[in-house]
């Protein structure tokens, strides 16, 4: 199991990435993260909604209510133009960070 503090600093970008693909609601994002990581990383609901609040406050996403489902109206999130620009920057930053860490950690088998 990976230490969650390593991923925590990248949650904004991870969630933006998933919303970039398509508008999504909270539970769907949580399940997608678990699925893509083969359950090696799971996001707590409180953490997820704190990220939504931060992203929305910063103008990176916006929310809207979808059509009625079994549990009522679902709140969906969509990425904004500012969010797309932020995501692109975050992806470049991650690529460079990964290259640096790979360089410094290579050879340890």
Number of domains comprising the chain: 1
- Give residue-wise pLDDT tens across range 29-81: 999 999 999 999 999 999 999 999 999 999 999 999 987 666 678 899 999 99
Query: What single string gives the DSSP state of each residue in the chain?
Result: ---HHHHHTTHHHHHHHHHHHS-EEHHHHHHHHHHHTTTS----HHHHHHHHHHHHHTTSEEEEEEEEETTEEEEEEEE-HHHHHHHHHHHHHHHHHHHHHHHHHTT--
Q: What range defines the domain where residue 87 resides?
A: 4-105
Predicted structure pTM score: 0.86
CATH assignment of the domain containing 71? 1.10.10.10
- Residue 67: predicted pLDDT: 77
Confidence of residue 8 (pLDDT cuts 50, 70, 90): confident
């Amino acid at each position: 199991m990976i230490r969650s503090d390593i991923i925590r600093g990248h949650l904004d970008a991870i969630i933006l990435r998933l919303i970039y693909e398509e508008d999504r609601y909270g539970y769907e994002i949580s399940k997608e993260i678990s699925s893509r990581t083969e359950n090696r990383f799971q996001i707590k609901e409180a953490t997820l909604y704190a990220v939504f609040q931060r992203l929305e406050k910063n103008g990176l996403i916006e929310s809207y209510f979808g059509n009625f489902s079994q549990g009522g109206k679902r709140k969906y999130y969509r990425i904004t133009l500012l969010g797309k620009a932020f995501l692109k920057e975050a992806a470049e930053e991650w690529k460079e960070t990964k290259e640096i860490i790979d360089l410094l950690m290579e050879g340890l088998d």
